[in-house]
Amino acid sequence: MPFKRRCASFAQKVRTLNGRPNAVRERNEQEFVFLGCQEQGARTFCPEEKKGSRVHRIHMIPVYIGLGSNQGHPEENLAQARAKIQSMTGVFAAVSSQIYYTEPQGVKDQPWFANQVLKILCHPAWTPSSFMRHLLSIENLLGRKRDIHWGPRRIDCDLLLFGQQSLSQPNLILPHPRMIHRAFVLVPLLELSPELCLPDGRRVKDCLQNLVYRRQGLRIWQEDGANQSIQSLKMASVQQDMAS
């Protein structure tokens, strides 16, 4: 299929996913540029292409997704989820962390989890809500059952960060509200982006230093998230007292 027709087809697909007629930002939808994506500092974009006197550039959005599984064959489940995400329209340059094996949170009487973080670049036609809906459809497709809160699961796809967007909606909060309390999220996240900062300016490495956890190779032990929240509040209070 000619280049212009492929790009026009992509624009229509993403419009359908978003349900918004003006979701795609472009001067001319037939002249998208999807060459090898690069990163320069905090701005991620596709290289520009010159056609006559016109230059077109599309800024891509870095997205971080947390994957987890402790039913069936966890490593295979993670691989299937990665493949489904990478095959999404408008998703490019996927890179994944190592797989970490982590102590269950909340419900302890269940197998350990295999956890991983996936970083992708997505086209700005995607919104956080439409992207999250697609992740949920991948979970359902791979057999996710929501029987027990924090219970065993075949696959879990958490939207951790969507660029530098902050969002608070009934079905979606960004950044993920519990990520800063989970070593099994922050450790692989820092493996991919050691200097990553949250939208409010906090460094992810500082958030990890506030947690009480133990790591041995690819295995991670940690207290329950509720205890971590209390611990973080106590630490913040002590730091405030020392500063005053």
Per-residue pLDDT tens digits for 192-234: 999 999 999 999 999 999 999 999 999 999 976 544 444 444 4
Question: Is the pLDDT assigned to residue 7 strictly greater than 80?
Answer: no
> What pLDDT is recorded for position 9?
56
CA dihedral 118, 93, 88, 143 (to 10 degrees): -30
> What pLDDT is recorded for position 92?
85
29-54 mean pLDDT: 38
Tell whether 53 and 77 lie within a shared domain.
no
62 versus 146: which is more confidently predicted?
Answer: 62
- The answer to the question of residue 85 being in a domain is yes
9 versus 174: which is more confidently predicted?
Answer: 174
**pLDDT bucket at 5, cuts 50 / 70 / 90:** low
Report CA 154 to chain centroid distance, whole Å: 18
- The answer to the question of residue 241 being in a domain is no
Q: Where are the alpha helices (DSSP H) in the chain?
A: 3-18, 74-86, 128-141, 183-192, 204-209, 225-243
> What pLDDT is recorded for position 236?
43
Tell whether 128 and 50 lie within a shared domain.
no
> What pLDDT is recorded for position 54?
52
9 versus 191: which is more confidently predicted?
Answer: 191
Tell whether 161 and 186 lie within a shared domain.
yes
Specify the number of domains making up the chain. 2
> What pLDDT is recorded for position 17?
46
Boundaries of domain holding 22: 3-59
Tell whether 49 and 135 lie within a shared domain.
no
- The answer to the question of residue 111 being in a domain is yes
**Which of 2, 3, 51 has the alpha carbon at shortest distance from 27?**
51
Amino acid identity for residue 88 in this structure: M
Tell whether 67 and 182 lie within a shared domain.
yes
